[in-house]
Chains A and B, each alone.
Chain A
Amino acid sequence: MKKLLLSSLFIVMLLSVVACGGSEGTSGDQVDLSIFNIKVETKDQLENLIEKYEEEFPDVNIELTTVGGGQDAPAALQAKFASNDEPNIFLLGGLSDAEKYQDYLIDVSEMESAKTAIDGTLEGAMIDDVPYGIPLNIEGFGWMINKDIFEQAGIDLASIDSYQAFVEAVDTLESNKEELGLEAVFGFSGREDWVVGQYSAHFSSAEFDHSVVGAYESPELTYEFGDRFKEYTDIMNTHNVQPILSLDYSTSVEELFVGEKVAIIHQGNWIIPTLDSIDQDFASEKLGILPFFIESDTDGKIVAGPSWFWGINGQKDEAQVEQAKHFIDWMYTSDYGKDKIMTDFKYIPSHEGYDVDKLTDTVSKDIYQMLLDGQNGIWANNQYPDGFFSTVLFPELQKYLNGDQSWEEFTTTTSDQYKEMR
């Protein structure tokens, strides 16, 4: 009898341990929010912003999860949903994400931060004219250059207004490599799938008439500007640091580019905080951006636009949904938030009513200006079929870069796969 008592006691203890683990402590009017952040670069800034928000609104408790960088963030987000641990606020990478999470997302059109968003920036997360996300910021990419090296080589930046002028500039740099102390002209990181994906966006954006919805709905990728794609790729590959296939992001940006061993890399304005942390004056004094000349030899464009959108989970209780909306509105429309977005996050704002002079580097201003002038392509790479850029485009282009297949083979394989995956 004693033994039976003991063992039942044991079972009861076990059960109570399990039960304790399951319950969550919520009390009073406290609202708990969870945010799933993918932008690792600005994790600290977001944390500070949240802290400030919690100070102003003591009833709110926000828990931030940041996944990204080397990790597979979209997979982690999906896992959160699969395990019924959905965050209140999370980042959408474009239309396919918006469609995927559509059942959860709320219509944001009534939100203050949606009304002040720059015209057209909501399009990237809009399904049937209903916007489902607030643009996080504007990001732009193209050829990032070291203006200092260009000047030393005697190249006038204003003169690079056509494809031919760009090629000439590369040749000039190549012939003066020794004096300039360059290892190579380009430092393209051919190991990173996302760099390759973004690089391809210049050409596919032109093919899709720079329309987000057009890109998302296009049934095929025909390489309308494939010739120019090949020309750029060949120039880049010939003058790149080799082996290009194992050149990773950090070597490319943090060593070669900052160390002035290469003059041109393919990156976007998100590298600015990194550059600042290594060399304070680099971004403000030496960093420049050059456009791609694709549709015609003189029509230069960079890719710029919102690449991420804050989506708000509507399948939570009312108080949480309202609080989540309030947080995002506060972040983008309060004076404190506005100031931090530019000075601390160093984001190019995606909303109106910002004092752009607060941006410290010229590249951010350039990108903002080009966006306003309509001299921009779209993030076409975010509208490719799921996994297309990392499992098809990236390896196939790597094969081309390595000389393992011809350009025709590259375009045929990738457009076939594109059609199949769409």
Chain B
Amino acid sequence: MQFKKLTYWMFLAPTLLAILFVIIIPFIQGINYSFTDYNGFQINEYVGLDNYIRLLQDGKFLDSMIFTALFSVVSVIGINAIGLGLALIVTQRANKISTVFRTIYFMPNLIGGIILGFIWQFIFLKAFEGLGDLTGIEGFYGWLADTKTGFWGLVILFVWQMSGYIMVIYISFLNNVPDELLEASRIDGANSWQRFIHIKFPLIAPAFTISLFLTLSNAFKVYDQNMALTGGGPFSSTEMATMNIYNSAFKLNEMGYAQAKAVVFLIIIATISLIQIYFTRKREVDL
């Protein structure tokens, strides 16, 4: 027994060490920095809670938090609705074509955020302008030049990127719905809508827990797509919290202040995610 314990820890050690060095130590260090005036080079003094007090009065940071929250809500709804929709479509029949479609829907997720951002920038600026010239519809012009189109541009990009990934999760849960239940309901005369809402929907509740968690936390943490697509513009109005933090750390050289923002940001994401998990867990049903 003694021996087993030893090997257990020995095999675990490399991973634990890695986590310790790249996550736990920087994390503690980061919290420590948030109480200083660290500028990326040296710490001059400990400023206590000053950074935290300052960020409560920082209009730009609060604006970026609100923008991020709005973005997250809209894209979480969008991604899950579309992801579930796609999953339902491709699980209708199991054949080659549906496999092909699964792959295609999943593909955007394989492209990096920066590249996606530039691709969509091209679409919004150039392709939309071309469409506008062709059709004469005003709505195609001036994308990304104001806050509203910038916001929707980001949502469209992110939904497009994440839907395929979330679809895969829903597919795996949909495939696990027992056939006998579906058959029984069919015999009882349930139509396909009723089968979805009363049988499939409750049974795939665990998928919602996972998908909502993934999309929510990812939406809050979006940075590269934001950087590549709008760069925070126009006039910083599409600047998300992560970009705001990055800018204060590396453009304004206020690393300590940026750390304080990051800590607050972390607490907010963690709280929201925990609340979400608590409530969606409650809805899950056991077979």
Contacts and interface: CB of A to CB of B under 8 A. Distances in A.
B145 A246 contact: yes
Interface string A349-393: 000000000000000000000000000000000000011001100
Interface stretch (A3-11, A51-59, A138-146): A3-11
Contact-residue bracket for chain B: 20 to 34
B85 interface: no
A395 B235 contact: yes
Contacts of A246: 125, 142-145, 233-234
A7 B7 contact: yes
A177 interface: no
Interface stretch (A71-79, A121-129, A201-209, A304-312): A71-79
A294 to B, nearest CB: 25
Given A7-B10, A82-B40, A387-B251, A191 B231 contact: yes
Interface in B1-40: 3, 6-7, 10-11, 13-14, 40
A14 B15 CA distance: 12
B40 to A, nearest CB: 6
A399 B11 CA distance: 58
A404 B237 CA distance: 12
B279 interface: no
Interface in A249-272: 251
B212 to A, nearest CB: 33
Main secondary structure of the interface of A (DSSP, over half): helix
A98 B40 CA distance: 15
B251 A402 contact: no
Given A78-B40, A246-B144, A387-B253, A402 B235 contact: yes
A100 B250 CA distance: 13
A89 B252 CA distance: 24
Nearest to A78: B40
A196 to B, nearest CB: 11
A161 to B, nearest CB: 36
B50 interface: no
A336 interface: no
Given A245-B234, A395-B235, A75 B250 contact: yes
A421 interface: yes
Interface of A: 3-4, 7, 10-11, 14, 72, 74-75, 78, 81-82, 100, 191, 242-246, 248, 251, 386-387, 390-391, 394-396, 398-399, 402, 404, 421
The 5 closest A-B pairs by CB, nearest first: A243-B145, A387-B252, A395-B235, A75-B250, A387-B251
22 contacts: A3-B7, A11-B10, A72-B250, A72-B251, A78-B250, A82-B41, A100-B41, A100-B253, A245-B235, A246-B144, A251-B125, A386-B252, A387-B247, A387-B251, A390-B247, A390-B251, A391-B236, A394-B235, A395-B232, A395-B233, A395-B234, A399-B234
Interface of B: 3, 6-7, 10-11, 13-14, 40-41, 125, 141-146, 231-237, 247-248, 250-253
